[in-house]
Structure 1
Amino acid sequence: MFNQNVLIVKENEQIEGEELLRNQLVDIGCPKTKILAYTGLPYHIDRTEAYKVMLFLTENMDHSSMLVLQLHNDFPQIPIIIITNTIPSAQIIPDGADDWLLKSWLEPFLLKKTIQLASHRRENMNCYMNIFKENPSPMYIYEEESYRFLDVNTTALKQYGYTKSEFLQLTAKDIRPKSELEAFYKVNNDLPPDYLNAGIWIHTRKNGEVFYVNIFTHQVTFEGKSCKLVTALDIDENVKTDLAVKQKAAEVESILESITDAFYTVNENWEFTYINKSFERILKRTREELLGKVLWEAFPEAAGLDYYSQYHKAVNEKVSVHFEEFYPFPPLWLSVNAYPTHTGLAVYLMDITDQKNYQQKIEKQNRQFKEIAWVQAHQIRGPVSNLMGLVDLFNIEQHNDPENLELLARIKHTAIQMDESIKEIVYLTQKLES
C-alpha cells in the first residue's frame, strides 16, 4: 500500500498531531523513510517523487480552505485528507480536499480506510480529469454565477491561443465579442441542466480573431460550485464555406431574378423547385401556385407538344437541348434551352412571339412579292410582246390601209390587258404595304 511517499503538511508550526499521525502511519505499514513533513507555505516539495496521499493538519478546516485549494492546484493528482480539530460547518469540506478526519477519531484502522477510499476516489477523479484534459474536443468548465473559468483542457487552450494560467484568469464573457453577450446571458440563464446542443456562436481567440463554434453544454458540480461543462467545436471553416455558398446562391438567384428570360428548375420528379419573375410575367402563372407542382400537371398542354419529348431527351441522355415551340395558353412562341442537372432539369425560355410574328409577316410579304413577280413575268410580258409585234405590223406608209384598223383594235385590246395587269400589281403592292 505504501510504496510511495506520504506527505504531512501542517498549516503552521503551532499545529499539534504530527507525531501521533506519524506513529499511526507506521502502524498501518508506512515506512518511516516514506513519511515527509512540511509546514505552511511556501513549501519545497520534490515534484519528481510519487506521493500516495497528502495529510493536511489544521485546527479549523473552514479557515484553511484557501491553503487547501492551493495545495490541490499545485498537486492535483494527490488525494488530500484534512486532519482537523473541528467539524466543518455544514460538514462541507473545502474545494480540493478528498476527505477529512477529526484528530480525536484518529486510530490506525480508520486512517488506513480513509486513505484507501480517498486514493480510490482520486484515481477515479484523475481518470475522468485525464479524459477531460486530453480530450480531442475543446472543453472548459465555468461557474454559472460568475462565469469564471475553473478548468480548461489542452485542446481548448490551443484553439483559443492562451496558456492555462491566462485562460483561468478569464471568464466566459471574455472569449465572446460584445455583440454576443446579451444573447449569452439569456441563454446561460435558460440552459437546462441536461446535455444540450446550444447552437452556433461567435467566439474570439487571444489574437482577436473571431471564429464560429458549435457549443454543447451540460450542468456539473465542480469544486463544490454549480458549473457548465462546455464543448466548443471549431466549425469556422464549415460555417464560412456555407455562408460563401449561400452568398453565391443569392448572387445567382439575383441574376436569375433580373434576367428577362424565363427560368425555372424541376427535380427528378418533374416538380417545380425554382421559378423566376420573368417566368411569372411571360407564362402568367405565379411561383406560389407552381412550386412543388408537377410540370406536366400544371401545364398539361405541354405534354402533347415538343416540350415533353425534348425535356425527356435532355434528362435521359444527359444532353442539353434547344428548340422552338408554340404554347397555346397564353398564345406565344418560345425559344427553349434545357440543361440536365444532378437533381433534375434547368430551363431557359425566351418569348420570341414578336420575332415569329415578324418572320411570318416577312414570309407573307415574300409570297406576295413572288406573286407580283409572277404577274410581272407572265401577265405583263405576254401583252408587251404582242404589242411590240403588232406595232411592227402597222403600215406606217399607208395610214389608210384597212389592216391598220384591225391592228389598232388589237393594240387597244392588248393595252387594256396591260392596264388590268398593272392595276393588279398596284393592288398587290398596296396590300403588301398594308
Structure 2
Amino acid sequence: MFDQNVLLVIENSPGPDENFISQLLNIGYRQNQIISSPAQKIRPADYEVIILFTEDMRHSSALVQKLSVDFPDVPLIVIADTTAADPVLPFGADDWLLKSWLQPLLLKKTIQLAVERKKSTYNYLRIFRENPSPMYIYEKDTFNFLEANTAALRQYGYSRKEFLELNAKDIRPADELEAFYKINEELPAAYSNAGIWQHTRKNGENFYVHIFTHQILFAGKTCKLVMAIDIDKAVKTENALKKKAREIENILESITDGFFTVNKNWELTYINKAFEKIIQTNRADIIGKNLWECFPEARELDYSQLYKKALSENVPVHFEEFYPPLNIWLSVNAYPTDTGLAVYFTDNTAQQNYQRKIEVQNRQFKEIAWVQAHQIRGPVSNLLGLVDLFNIEPDDPDNLELLARVKHTAIQMDESIQEIVYLTRKIEP
C-alpha cells in the first residue's frame, strides 16, 4: 500500500504506542518502514509522510515550521494529546488528529489524503520554486518569510533554511524601513507595482530591485507574494549617466559661450545661461519650440544655410554673421550629433568693431603715407635744388628770384605738414 518510510517525530509527548504501530502495520506499512525519532535527532532520508506527536498542537508551531523547511515536499500530520476548542493548524502542517480519534481507517484516509494533497500542491509549488524570477512570501503582519523560490535564494545568497529564519525587514537597508512599513499597509490587495527599492544580500551588498506584489492567503495567513527583479546594473548605469549628464550640464552652464542643441526637426532641446544673456531671451519661453519660428530673421541669413549644411552633410561649420535684431556679431561653431546639432557661439561685436576701427585707421595711415610720399618729397627736392643754385654773392640780382622760389617751396611744405597734422588728428585714439 505505502512504498516509502514513515517518520514518527516525538515532541513533549509519550510518542506512538504499540497500538499506533499496529495500526500502521494494518494499513500497509512494513516494520522496517516505520522510523521513530526524537525531534532533536532527525536524520535526513526519503519519507512518504511525517507524523508529529505533541502534547498540544498550539505549542508545536516552531517544530512544524522547521520540519516543513527541512522536508518541504513531505506531508506532515500532527497528532496531539489535546487541542483548543477551535484549533488552528500550524503553518507547514497538512492535517491533524487527536490521539483519542486514532483508528486504522481514519489514519489510513488521513495519510492518503495528505499525500495526495501534497502531490497536488507540489505541482503548483514547483512552478513557484522553479520560476526564474526571484519570488518570496512573507506574512503581512509579522513580516516573517514563509516561502522563497530558488531564484530568490540565489539572488540574496541564503540557503532555504537561513532565508526562512529571516523576515522581510532583514533584507532591506535600515534607512528604507519606514517607507517599507508604510507601503506594506498602503498597497492594495490586488497586483501592485511597488516601484524600485534597495535590498541587501547576505554579504551586506545593497542592490536595486523592482518590486511587484500581490496579497494572498497562505497557510491560513494574510501574506504578500513578492517578485523582486534585480535591476541593479540598469539603475546604476542610469544613475551614472545622469551624474555624467549633470556634470556636462554644469560645465555648459558655467561657460561664457552661448550653447544650444536642436533635434533634426529644428526643435530647441537645450539652452544654457550664456545663450539667455547673449540673445536676451528666457529659455523657458522657447525650449521645445522650432528654432526658425523663434528667430525668423536668422532664416534669411547665413545661419539657416550653414546649419542645414552641417546637419545634411554631417560636417562641422564655423562662420561669423551679423544678427540685425540685436545689432550684434556672432562667431558660431556648429557640430552635428546623433540627434541633431550642437551649437556654440560668442558675441563677437566688440572684436568686429575693433577690426573695423583698425581698418579705418589703416586707410588714414595710407593717406598720410601718400601725403608724405608725394606732397612733401616734391617740395623738399625743389628746395634742395634751389639751395644748390643759390649764389653766395649778396648783390647778385638772381638771388631775389631764388629767394622767392625758396619761400614758395617752404609755404608748400608748411601746407603739407598742416595736412598731415590734420589727418593724424582724425585718427581716433
Normalising by the residue count of structure 2, what TM-score does the alignment of the two structures yield?
0.86
Query: CA 1:44–1:204 in structure 2 vs 1: closer, same or farther (change >3 Å)?
Result: closer
Q: Deviation string for 1:305-329 (max 9, x for gaps)?
A: 1111111111111111111111112
| Conserved? CA contact 1:22–1:35, under 8 Å | no
Q: Structure 2 regions of 5+ residues with no counterpart?
A: none
Task: Determine the C-alpha separation between the residues in 1 that align with 2:92 and 2:403.
Answer: 141
1:424 matched to 2:398: no
Q: Which residue of 2 aligns with 1:98?
A: 94
Identity %: 60
Distance in 2 (CA, whole Å) between partners of 1:325 and 1:118 is: 89
Instruction: Specify the code of the residue in structure 2 equivalent to 1:347.
Output: V
1:220-257 C-alpha deviation (Å, 9 max, x unpaired): 22222211122222322222222221111111111111
Q: d(CA) in 2 for partners of 1:39 and 1:345?
A: 79
1:231 corresponds to which of 227, 233, 238? 227
| Closer, same or farther: CA 65–264 of 1 in aligned 2, 3 Å | closer
Match of 1:387 in 2: 383
> Which residue number in structure 2 is paired with residue 415 of structure 1?
410
Q: What letter is aligned with 1:417?
A: Q
2:358 aligns with 362
> Aligned runs of 1:53-132 on 2, under 5 Å?
53-54=49-50, 68-81=64-77, 89-90=85-86, 92-99=88-95, 117-132=113-128
Following superposition, the deviation at residue 423 of structure 1 comes to: 1.4
Unaligned runs of 5+ residues in structure 1 are none
Alpha-carbon shift at residue 68 of structure 1 (Å) = 4.6
Which whole-Å CA distance do the structure 2 matches of 1:269 and 1:19 have between them?
86
Q: Per-residue deviation at 1:360?
A: 0.7
Deviations 1:359-393 (A, max 9, x none): 11111100000111111112222333333344444
Whether 2:205 is the aligned partner of 1:209: answer yes
Tell me: CA distance 1:203–1:64, structure 2 relative to 1, closer, same or farther (3 Å): closer
CA contact (8 A) 2:194 2:210 kept: yes
Question: What amino acid sits opposite 1:256 in the alignment?
Answer: L
Cα offset, 1:351, TM superposition: 1.4
- Cα distance in structure 1, aligned partners of 2:303 and 2:328: 14
2:74–2:118 Cα contact (<8 Å) kept: yes
2:144 corresponds to: 148
Does the 8 A contact of 1:12 with 1:40 survive in 2? no
* Residue identity opposite 1:294 in structure 2: N
* Residue 247 of structure 1 pairs with residue 249 of structure 2: no
Equivalent residue letter for 1:18: F
Alignment coverage as a number of residue pairs = 426
Distance 1:7 1:162, change over 3 A: closer
Q: 2:298 aligns with which of 291, 297, 302?
A: 302
Contact 1:141 1:150 in 2 (8 A): yes
1:330 aligns with 2:332: no
CA deviation after TM superposition for structure 1 residue 161, in Å: 3.0
1:18 and 2:20 correspond = yes
| 1:139-288 pair list within 5 angstroms | 139-288=135-284
Q: CA deviation at 1:209?
A: 2.5
**Alignment partner of 1:323: what SS?**
strand
Shift of 1:15: 6.3
Cα deviation, residue 420, structure 1: 2.0
CA contact (8 A) 2:316 2:336 kept: yes
Contact 2:9-2:39 at 8 Å conserved across structures: no
CA distance in 1, matches of 2:181, 2:424: 87
Q: What amino acid does structure 2 have at the position aligned with 1:414?
A: T
The one-letter amino acid paired with 1:336 is: V
Contact 2:16 2:53 in 1 (8 A): no
**Aligned position for 1:36:** 34
Other structure's SS at 2:236 match: helix
Distance (Å, rounded) in 2 between the aligned partners of 1:83 and 1:310: 90
Does structure 2 conserve the Cα–Cα contact (< 8 Å) formed by 1:72 and 1:80? yes
Q: Given the superposition, is the C-alpha separation of residues 399 and 334 from structure 1 closer, same or farther in structure 2, using an over 3 Å criterion?
A: farther
| Structure 1 SS opposite 2:281 | coil
Deviation of the 1:54 alpha carbon: 4.6
The letter for the 2-side match of 1:176 is R
CA contact (8 A) 1:68 1:96 kept: yes
CA distance, structure 2, for counterparts of residue 65 and residue 247 of structure 1:
51
Deviates more, 1:170-179 or 1:320-329: 170-179
AA at the equivalent of 1:186: K
- The counterpart of 1:352, out of the listed 348, 351, 374, is 348
Range that drifts further, 34-43 or 285-294: 34-43
User: Cα deviations across residues 321-357 of structure 1 (Å, max 9, x unaligned)?
Assistant: 1111111121111111111111111011011111111
Work out the CA distance in 2 between the residues paired with 1:365 and 1:42. Answer: 108
Whole-Å Cα distance in 1 between the matches of residues 29 and 165 of structure 2?
41
In 2: Cα distance, 1:355 partner to 1:170 partner: 73
Contact 1:139 1:152 in 2 (8 A): yes
Partners of 1:73 and 1:247 in 2: CA distance: 45
Report if the CA contact (8 A) 1:264-1:272 is conserved.
yes
TM-score w.r.t. the length of structure 1 is 0.85
- CA–CA separation in structure 1 for the residues paired with 2:141 and 2:248: 48
| Contact 2:257–2:344, Cα closer than 8 Å, also in 1 | yes
